[in-house]
Amino acid sequence: MKTNNLKLVGSADKLLYLTFPNLDDGKCVSAFTTRMGGVSRGKYASMNMSFSNGDNPHSVRKNYDILFGALGLDPEKAVFSQQTHTNNIRVVQERDIGKGIVLHRDYRNVDGLVTNLKGVALVTQFADCVPLLFYDPKNEVIAASHAGWRGTAQEIGKKTVEVMVGLFGCNPKNIQVAIGPSIGKCCYEVDTPVFSEFNLLSDIPTKKIFEKKGPEKYMLDLWEANRLILESAGIKSKNICVTDLCTCCNSQFFHSHRASGGNRGNLAAVIALKG
């Protein structure tokens, strides 16, 4: 697996994860996992980050201990999303610390998280959908959002920026964003109903993100769709780091729903402000 845009940390025979150069300024910690370096077995092997897909929860907890140990973070302070392909954003406060690993999540339908709390890791999960990580170094605010095709069509990236601006006083021009590994246009075939949803958006010309493959069939570029949405929200093009890794093409390194037919574990995107 090779990448020109992201940074590989570790090795394939041990823990292997990716970081984003534009988020790495010494005050922010971020990572996107591969399937390498954990203790899960079978279809979850080996770094599965989901407690809700049937894996042994003790193995998943150990996987978080391994990853967070490498990142210098406390897993018991992590906060998880509760993803259902919405554009709902939750502002993470003190009372939310630990919800996901050590505390029950008392919220539902949350695909994005925003906070300015230091030492608190925001965690979203993936197996082909697009991870979006946000960092405002001036105001010290972070966010993580899950953008499948539905979330992308609902412009969750723009909504995340709006929450950062409206509630934390961020300036979009200062926000750095990473579009992480996910299914690429090379592998993502969709049908007319999906095309029609994107055709409703004024921010995205469909000709820039769809390539017609045949009757009622299109190849969808979610990376470009999210990049255009972020630019329409005021994010500078130079502040957006776009992945060059397709999870489906690289399913030996990533859990991929499409490549595995749904028999897989989950990856995780993690971001935190150093405490």
Q: What pTM did the predictor assign?
A: 0.98
Which pLDDT does position 13 carry in this prediction? 86
Contacts of 171 (CB under 8 A, 6+ apart): 136, 138, 165
Contacts of 133 (CB under 8 A, 6+ apart): 20, 23, 30, 142, 143, 144, 177, 178, 180, 269, 271
Strands (DSSP E) found in 161-242: 176-179, 189-191, 210-214, 217-220, 240-242
With H, G, I as helix, E, B as strand and everything else as coil, classify residue 263: coil
**How far apart, in Å, are the Cα atoms of 47 and each of 24, 218, 255?**
23, 32, 9
Three-state SS for 109-174 is CECEEEECCECCCEEEEECCCEEEEEEECCCCEEEEEEECHHHHHCCHHHHHHHHHHHHHCCCHHH
Give the chain's domains with CATH numbers: 7-273 (3.60.140.10)
Which pLDDT does position 172 carry in this prediction? 98
Which pLDDT does position 25 carry in this prediction? 95
φ, ψ dihedrals at 127, nearest 5°: -155, 45
Q: Which residues pair with 92 in a beta bridge?
A: none
Respond yes or no on whether the N-terminal peptide bond of residue 260 is cis (omega within 30° of 0).
no
Which pLDDT does position 192 carry in this prediction? 97
With H, G, I as helix, E, B as strand and everything else as coil, classify residue 99: strand
**How far apart, in Å, are the Cα atoms of 140 and each of 101, 133, 135, 171, 231?**
24, 13, 7, 11, 21
Which pLDDT does position 203 carry in this prediction? 80
**How far apart, in Å, are the Cα atoms of 231 and each of 28, 157, 263?**
22, 10, 35
**How far apart, in Å, are the Cα atoms of 37 and each of 3, 41, 157, 238?**
19, 11, 30, 32
Contacts of 149 (CB under 8 A, 6+ apart): 129, 190, 194, 197, 220, 222
Helix axes 222-232, 156-168, angle to 10 degrees: 30
φ, ψ dihedrals at 149, nearest 5°: -65, -35
Tell me if 100 sits within 8 A of 243, measured CB to CB: no
Which pLDDT does position 12 carry in this prediction? 84
Q: What is the pLDDT along the chain (275 residues), one digit of tens a residue?
A: 999 999 999 998 899 999 999 999 999 999 999 999 999 999 999 999 999 999 999 999 999 999 999 999 999 999 999 999 999 999 999 999 999 999 999 999 999 999 999 999 999 999 999 999 999 999 999 999 999 999 999 999 999 999 999 999 999 999 999 999 999 999 999 999 999 999 999 889 999 999 999 999 999 999 999 999 999 999 999 999 999 999 999 999 999 999 999 999 999 999 999 98
Which contiguous run of DSSP H or E holds residue 70?
helix 57-71
